[in-house]
Chains A and B, each alone.
Chain A
Amino acid sequence: MKAQLRIAAFTLSLLLVALAFIRSAPTVGASATGQIVGTIKLDGQAPHLKPIDMSKDPACAQANGGAPVAAENVVVGANGGLANVVVYISQGLAGNEGAISSQPATIDQRGCKYVPHVVALNVGQHMTVLNSDKTAHNIHPQPSPTGGNGQWNKSQTAGAGPIDVAWANQEVAIPVKCNIHPWMRAYIAVVKGPFGVSNDTGSFRMDNVPPGTYTLTAWQETFGTQTQVVTVATGKPATSDFTFKAK
């Protein structure tokens, strides 16, 4: 009887140790997750966008060499690649979103534009707002009134320190304006789980995607959203391309 109890206790403790080990193991290593890559294109002629005249603030005009500045509502690169599209997993990830990056996302007010024009980050991830301009800005995110993210605005005079903020709820995407310079626009996409933002060739990449089948959503500020189902396995990256139709 005693020997049986001892074996049982030993097995139990082994199991407990193994369980503890498993639970404390670092989140699925690179080798255990997959990737999603893709290209986003615009089908058709990009809409004519009026250039932005920043003459009302000479500091802005000078930072851009005095010439009108291209608007960023639709940014199309060579080969029709559509930039600034946020791609994220809208279905299938529940509970498996992974760790939030400890690296804060940054958005910079530079040349009286927001750089980058579209920022994606995780719920709870920190975001740093910088002002690199020689003029004051007042950043004003305008989240949806029912989305749970609070509306706020903060001034940063030239040379002021950074602002640190985090978002509590998913929202794709929060429009951002500057209260002092009416033409400035940015978008903050707050998502759970892996995400990617397309660059000016239209390509994006999402890392640390656990294997599985998901619905991907691609969001662009003018053209709206599109969805695709994708299956991710470890090893080869899954591909998901999107094409938005110009109006």
Chain B
Amino acid sequence: MAGKIFAVVVALITIVTAYCVIAHVWWMPVDISVHGPKIDHQIEETVLVAGLLFIAGQVVLAAFVFLYGGARNRIKQIPGGAKPLIVFAFLLVGTEIVALSFIGSKAWGAVYFEAPDPASMRVDVQAGQFAYYFRYPGPDGKFGSLHPDLINEGNQNYFGLDTDHDADAKDDIVTAELAIPVNKPILLTLHSKDVGHSFYARELRIQQDFVPGLNIPVHFTATQTGRFEIVCTQLCGLGHYNMKAYLSVLSPSDFDDWLRKQASMQ
């Protein structure tokens, strides 16, 4: 009796889980990046492959438990013993693995192995306990140098710019929100002010850690306007849960307006 109940319980768990995944009860948000479809496709492929294995594994387990409870059976091993199992594992799983790796490398490559467009708009991103700040180079197209000893949050000098003496820094535009024009290649440079953080923009299908001491490039092109969240996913201290910034994807003219307004506020 226990065996029959076990089989039914496992079957139910399998069905409910499969339903939740297939029906996308909780699922990824809309994808708004050029490379996003490759990642989404990879996830769908993996759902299929892993899902089939999941269902098969649980169903076979449930079936055997259902059928073979008790003391009346004449025992036998499966035909061929362990050999078919080993062959199955190597062949089927091995093939899946190789396939996923090959296709997946294209998705990964789209994010990391393609060089950024030389005409990308550059934005400097700083993560610090517990906020992100963004820096646009301004009309001179150059970023001023950073001086950690000059950082003064009380005066809103989050980046440690020397605007008194550094000409390149004078026109840098520092914002608390990442606004970008749609359909234009963007190149972010990530650096951390203090400890490890991460840049997770679900709709952009991008997640990249900030590593103190490193400047890490991230490039992408957004394909849809809207307002989206960038949240921190690398444990950084007590305010980790409250560390986010908004990503604002705007039409080119709206973006120009926004940047002009931000520049006037500096």
User: Looking at the complex, which one of A53, A55, A138, A175 makes contact with B238 (CB distance below 8 Å)?
Assistant: A138
Do residues B131 and A56 form an inter-chain contact, with CB atoms below 8 A? yes
Do residues B156 and A52 form an inter-chain contact, with CB atoms below 8 A? yes
Do residues A56 and B154 form an inter-chain contact, with CB atoms below 8 A? no
Of the candidate stretches A176-184, A196-204, A234-242, the one touching chain B is: A176-184
CA distance A51 to B245 in the complex (A): 17
By a CB distance below 8 angstroms, the chain A residues around B196 are none
State whether the Cβ of B33 lies closer than 8 Å to any Cβ in chain A: no
Contact pattern, B 189-226, Cβ under 8 Å of A = 1, otherwise 0: 00000000000000000000000000000000000000
Contact pattern, B 229-266, Cβ under 8 Å of A = 1, otherwise 0: 00000000111001111100000000000000000011
Do residues B266 and A50 form an inter-chain contact, with CB atoms below 8 A? yes
By a CB distance below 8 angstroms, the chain A residues around B243 are 56
By a CB distance below 8 angstroms, the chain A residues around B239 are 138, 179-180
Chain A nearest Cβ from B263, distance in angstroms: 11
By a CB distance below 8 angstroms, the chain A residues around B238 are 138, 155, 179-180
Say what secondary structure dominates the interface of chain A: loop
State whether the Cβ of B14 lies closer than 8 Å to any Cβ in chain A: no
By a CB distance below 8 angstroms, the chain B residues around A50 are 156, 174, 265-266
State whether the Cβ of A73 lies closer than 8 Å to any Cβ in chain B: yes
Do residues A55 and B177 form an inter-chain contact, with CB atoms below 8 A? yes
Chain A nearest Cβ from B128, distance in angstroms: 7
Contact pattern, A 37-69, Cβ under 8 Å of B = 1, otherwise 0: 000000000000011111111000000000010
By a CB distance below 8 angstroms, the chain B residues around A51 are 265
By a CB distance below 8 angstroms, the chain A residues around B265 are 50-51, 68
Interface residues on B, range: 20 to 34
CA distance A136 to B239 in the complex (A): 9
By a CB distance below 8 angstroms, the chain B residues around A136 are 242
By a CB distance below 8 angstroms, the chain A residues around B131 are 56, 181-182
By a CB distance below 8 angstroms, the chain B residues around A138 are 238-239
CA distance A124 to B115 in the complex (A): 62
By a CB distance below 8 angstroms, the chain B residues around A135 are 242
CA distance A51 to B176 in the complex (A): 11
By a CB distance below 8 angstroms, the chain A residues around B266 are 50
Residues A55 and B156 in contact in the complex (CB < 8 Å), given A68-B265, A138-B238: no
State whether the Cβ of B130 lies closer than 8 Å to any Cβ in chain A: yes
Chain B nearest Cβ from A101, distance in angstroms: 28
State whether the Cβ of A205 lies closer than 8 Å to any Cβ in chain B: no
By a CB distance below 8 angstroms, the chain A residues around B129 are 179, 182
By a CB distance below 8 angstroms, the chain A residues around B143 are none
Chain A residue nearest in CB terms to B266: A50
Do residues A182 and B153 form an inter-chain contact, with CB atoms below 8 A? yes
State whether the Cβ of B155 lies closer than 8 Å to any Cβ in chain A: yes
CA distance A213 to B39 in the complex (A): 77
State whether the Cβ of A192 lies closer than 8 Å to any Cβ in chain B: no
State whether the Cβ of B132 lies closer than 8 Å to any Cβ in chain A: yes
By a CB distance below 8 angstroms, the chain A residues around B136 are none
Chain B nearest Cβ from A51, distance in angstroms: 6
Q: Which of B129, B154, B238, B243 has the most C-beta atoms of chain A within 10 angstroms of its own C-beta? A: B154
State whether the Cβ of B158 lies closer than 8 Å to any Cβ in chain A: yes
Do residues A179 and B177 form an inter-chain contact, with CB atoms below 8 A? no
CA distance A183 to B153 in the complex (A): 6
Given contacts A175-B154, A179-B239, 14 further A-B contacts (CB under 8 A): A50-B266, A53-B176, A54-B176, A55-B176, A55-B177, A56-B243, A57-B242, A179-B237, A180-B238, A181-B131, A182-B128, A183-B153, A185-B153, A185-B154
18 contacts between A and B (CB under 8 A): A52-B156, A53-B175, A53-B176, A54-B176, A56-B132, A56-B243, A56-B246, A57-B242, A71-B156, A73-B154, A73-B155, A135-B242, A179-B237, A180-B242, A181-B130, A182-B128, A183-B153, A185-B154
Question: Which residues does B use to contact A, with CB under 8 Å?
Answer: 128-132, 153-156, 158, 174-177, 237-239, 242-246, 265-266
